[in-house]
Amino acid sequence: MIVSTPSAMLWRELVDSRTNDYVRRWMRHFPGIRATCIEQWIQDLVAASVPTWVHPLSAAERDLLVDEHWRRVTERPGHEPEEFEAIVEALEKDILEAQEVSNVGAAFVRLGSRAPLDSPLLLEGSLQVDAGAEALEVLLQSERVFDDLCLMQECGYVPSIVVRPWLDLPPGTELRAFIRRRELVGLSQRQVDAVQPELVARAPELEEAVRRRCAELAPRWPLDDLVADFVIEDEAAMLTDLHPLLDWTDAGLFSWEQPFERYKFRYLH
């Protein structure tokens, strides 16, 4: 049972903190952010998406995660492990099912809005998780997850935790698409730090897979303007993530300072 967490709002006290700045900046854009959370669109787009398990949190569980992270940052005593049991048990179940689908028997955990890519536990090892307790710890360590939870708390939104199978695919098969007025206006390689030989070798084929998928999904996008991430698997573009078309989102090989006037596919070669 989760007890009341009245201290879950104490992060507001540090008015000039990074988290408060983040919340103030993005509150007015939250309707778009909310629409691109995985739990909001996965049912409508499930056939075009990678396998996904969604665990809805309660408002009390959201506040518990916020408060636990805040207590750690401020060096205060944390909550008792028993308070997290329901979350851990749900994640354990979803992780086991996701591992069965994974081509390497592994799973990945994230919030519906963003992934905990800054979590020290992931940075020290890999992005894979093997158990519910480990997945919870990954989320609790992440400043990205904490910031999003605080934003959602402020906006009265109750989020979900998402578990997916770990897909061991060549980096060159990950692409980021930019959608404006439901039309594809730009395409970029997802990992922009190096040339991806797989992408260079298959660029026309991968581009066409994304074009077909975007045309198919155009009537069902949750927003007219958004950013969509894909992986190409067995010649099909599978949706992994959606984001609002804002500088909240990484622009890949494009720039938010330059408008998308004509369609371009950009990749390093």
Task: Return the ∠ at Cα 144 (arms to 138 and 149), rounded to 5°.
Answer: 90
Q: Is residue 115 part of a domain?
A: yes
CA 64 vs CA 50, 56, 90, 153: distances in Å: 29, 14, 16, 11
- DSSP one-letter code for 167: -
Last residue of a domain, one of 165, 184, 212: 165
Task: Return the ∠ at Cα 161 (arms to 187 and 61), rounded to 5°.
Answer: 145
What pTM was computed for the model?
0.93
Q: Are residues 180 and 223 in the same domain?
A: yes
Q: Is residue 1 part of a domain?
A: no
Query: How far apart, in whole angstroms, are the C-alpha atoms of residue 4 and residue 26?
Result: 27
Q: Which residues pair with 160 in a beta bridge?
A: 56
Q: Are residues 146 and 31 in the same domain?
A: yes
CA 207 to chain centre: 23
Last residue of a domain, one of 100, 131, 165: 165
Q: Are residues 202 and 81 in the same domain?
A: no
Counting as low any pLDDT under 50, the low residues of the chain are 1-3
Q: Is residue 121 part of a domain?
A: yes
Query: How far apart, in whole angstroms, are the C-alpha atoms of residue 249 and residue 226?
Result: 10
Q: Are residues 156 and 198 in the same domain?
A: no
Q: Are residues 217 and 98 in the same domain?
A: no
Q: How many folded domains does the chain comprise?
A: 2
- Res 115: pLDDT: 95
Q: Give residue 105's region: left, alpha or beta (phi > 0; psi -120 to 50).
A: left
Helix, strand, coil shares of the chain as percentages rounded to 5? 50, 20, 35
Q: Are residues 125 and 205 in the same domain?
A: no
Amino acid 240 reads T
Q: Are 66 and 146 in contact (CB under 8 A)?
A: yes
Q: Are residues 37 and 128 in the same domain?
A: yes
What range does the domain containing 64 cover?
6-165
- Res 78: pLDDT: 92
Q: Are residues 117 and 151 in the same domain?
A: yes
- Res 260: pLDDT: 84
Q: Are 180 and 218 in contact (CB under 8 A)?
A: no
Q: Are residues 154 and 178 in the same domain?
A: no
Q: Are residues 24 and 134 in the same domain?
A: yes
Alpha helices (runs of H) in the chain, residue ranges in sequence order: 18-26, 30-35, 38-45, 59-73, 85-101, 120-124, 132-141, 143-155, 197-217
Strand order across the 264-266 sheet: 236-244, 226-233, 174-180, 183-189, 264-266
- Joined together, the tokens standing for residue 154 give 């402020």
Q: Are residues 215 and 110 in the same domain?
A: no
Q: Are 87 and 161 in contact (CB under 8 A)?
A: yes
Sequence-distant (6+) residues with CB within 8 A of 60 are 2, 4, 5
